Amino acid sequence: MELHDKKIKTLIERFKSGKEDIHNILNDLRREVELYIYNFPRLAYKKGPDICSEFYLYVLERLGSIIENFPLNETIQFKTWFNAVLRNQLTNFFYYHQKDRKLELSLEDYENDISVDVFEKEELDLKTLMKGLSSLNCMERLSLLFFYMPECLEAEDIKKASESFKMSIQEILAIQRSLIVAREKEIQRIREISDKIGKYSQTLARLKYKLYKGSGEDLKIKNELLQKIARNEASRARLVRLMEAPDKAVFREFSALFRNALVTKRYLKTAKRKLRIILLTQKKMIEEAL
Amino acid sequence: MFGCGKFSEIELLKYLEGSKENLDVIEKHLKECPLCMKEITELNRVSAIMESGRAEPLRKKAFVTIFAKNQDFEWVLPSAGTGRIELLPQTRTISGRRIKKAVYTIDEIPANLEVVPVQEDTFWVLLRSPELSSSEAILRKKGSLKPIYSISPEGPEVIFKGIGPGEYEVYFREYVIRFNIKVEN
C-alpha cells in the first residue's frame, strides 16, 4: 500500500501553518490516509473487519492531533512515522475500548477468529515445525526462517542473524523487509494465477459437458468443441507450470545473506533436507508411540 | 517513548530507513537492549507488511444507538445522520401503550433505518434505500461472521423480523449501517 509522501507532507505543512481552512485540509488528509488506517489492523495484526472499522473511527477522531505531531523538519518518510503512530494508537485503542482483550498486540489473536477444529490442527502443525526447526543448528534454522517465514523472525533471531551472517542489524532488518515484500508479492502472484486456473477449469467443464450432451450433433461442431477444449487445456497447463516455477524474487533477496547464489542454494537445500529428516523422525516416533 | 527511551523515536525510525547517523552507537545499543530491539524488529515487520499488503476498500459506515425503556424509545444517538422518534398510529399498541418507532436517516448513505418494537424485547428493523433493489442485504450480529439474514429484495425495502437487543450490522453494496438496540426494563 502506498502513501503519497510529498502530497501528505505538503498538506501537513498547510495544516500546521493555520492560514487556511483546517477542516478542508483535514478532509484532504483523511482521503490520503483513510485506506491505510482502515487496513492497518488487518494487514499488520490480522484483525477482523469489526476492529478495522472501529479502529478507523478511533484514529479519525484524533487525526488532527496526530498530524500535528509529525516532525516536518526531519528527513523521514511519512509512512515510516505513521506506522509507528498507528501501532501506538492500536495499543491505546485496545486498552481503552476493548479492556477484555489482551493489551499486547499479538498475531495470535487471529487464532480466535478461526474455527476450533482448524485452529487445533494448525497449532499442532506449527508446533511440530517449530520443534523441528529448533533441532537445526543456528544458521540452518535462520536460513529457513528468513526464506520461508521472514515475518516470523523475532528480535533475538535478528540479533543472532547479525552475528551469524556477519552483517549489521540494520542490514539484516533491510533484508527481512525485502523478503517479506517479495514473499507477499509471490503469494499475490500465485493467487492471481490460481484464479485464472479456476476460470479455465470452469470453462473446460462447461465445454466437456456440451461435447458429452451434444453427442448426436454433426462432426464439425464436435471438432470445434474439441479444438476449444485443447486450447483451454494448453492455456491451463501453461499457468500451472508458471505457478510451479521457482520463486526467483524471494531467492534473489535471500541470497543477500550469503556470499553468492551457489552457496545460498547449497545452504538452503541442506537445511531443508535436514528439517525433512527431523520431521519424518518425529512423525515416526509419534506413530510408534501410538 | 520508543523502547527504553535512550534514543528518540525519530532517531530510531531514521535508522530503520537506513540512515547512517549514529549508526555504531545505535547498533551497539540494540545489541544490549532487548526492549529497543523488540520494538525495532516489530516496526520493521509492520512496515514491510504495510508496504506489500493489498488494501481492502473502506465501506461507508453509519452508526446509531437506540435506547428502549419499557418498550418505548427514549433517545436515538446517530452518527453521520439524524434520528427521531415517531409515534405509530393509535391502533397499534403493546400492553395497551402506543408504539413508538425509531427512525434513522443517514447523511452519506442514501438510506433510512426504522426500528419498531413488536413485542417485549423483539423488534422489526426496516431498511429503505434505492440502492437495495440491485443488491443483497446482509444482517449480522456484531462479532459474528455468520449472517442472520441474507436477502436480495426486489424493491427498495427490506424487513428483518424478530430482532432482539444487541449490536447489529447491515451490509448492502459498499455500505454498512451499525445499530445498537439497548433495552432497559
**For B8-25, what is each residue's pLDDT tens digit?**
999 999 999 999 988 999
Q: What is the pLDDT of residues B115-159, one digit of tens each?
A: 888 877 888 999 998 888 878 899 998 877 788 999 888 889 999
Spell out the long-range contacts of B115-120 with Cβ–Cβ below 8 A and sequence spacing 24 or more.
B115/B66, B115/B73, B115/B179, B115/B181, B116/B88, B117/B68, B117/B71, B117/B73, B118/B94, B118/B161, B119/B94, B120/B71, B120/B94
Check CB contact of B84 with chain A, cutoff 8 Å.
Answer: no
Which of B15, B44, B142, B175 should one mutate to test binding to chain A, selecting the residue with the greatest count of A CBs within 10 A? B44
ipTM of the complex: 0.81
For residue B30, give the nearest of A57, A169, A180 by CB distance: A169
Q: Sort out which chain B residues have CB atoms less than 8 A from A169's CB and list them.
A: 27, 30-31, 37, 40
A230 Cβ partners below 8 Å, 6+ apart?
none
pLDDT of residue A18: 78
Check CB contact of B24 with chain A, cutoff 8 Å.
Answer: no
pLDDT of residue B92: 61
pLDDT of residue A216: 66
Tell me the residue type at A160.
Answer: K
pLDDT of residue B95: 63
- pLDDT of B47 strictly over 90: yes
- Contact yes or no for B50 and A40 at CB 8 A: yes
Query: What does the pLDDT profile of chain A (290 residues) look like in tens digits?
Result: 889 999 999 999 998 887 777 888 888 888 899 899 999 999 999 887 778 888 888 888 888 889 999 999 888 999 999 999 999 999 999 887 765 555 455 554 444 443 333 334 444 577 778 888 888 888 889 999 999 889 989 999 999 999 998 999 999 999 999 999 999 998 888 999 999 999 999 999 999 988 888 766 678 888 888 999 999 999 999 999 988 887 788 888 998 988 788 888 888 888 888 888 888 887 777 777 77
- Contact yes or no for B48 and A181 at CB 8 A: yes
Instruction: Work out the mean pLDDT of chain B and round it to a whole number.
Output: 83
Q: Sort out which chain B residues have CB atoms less than 8 A from A162's CB and list them.
A: 31
Distance CA A48, CA A278 (A): 36
- Contact yes or no for A84 and B2 at CB 8 A: yes
B117 Cβ partners below 8 Å, 6+ apart?
B68, B71, B73, B94, B99, B100, B101, B123
- Contact yes or no for B10 and A53 at CB 8 A: no
Place of cell 501453461: A238
pTM: 0.71
Under the banding of pLDDT at 50, 70 and 90, the label for residue B71 is low
Residue B76 near residue B64 (C-beta atoms within 8 A)? yes
Please compute the mean of the pLDDT values over residues B49-53 and round it to a whole number. Answer: 91
Check CB contact of A146 with chain B, cutoff 8 Å.
Answer: no
Chain B neighbours among A 220-259 (CB < 8 Å)? Answer: none
Chain B neighbours among A 4-63 (CB < 8 Å)? Answer: 34-36, 38-40, 42-44, 48, 50, 53, 56-57
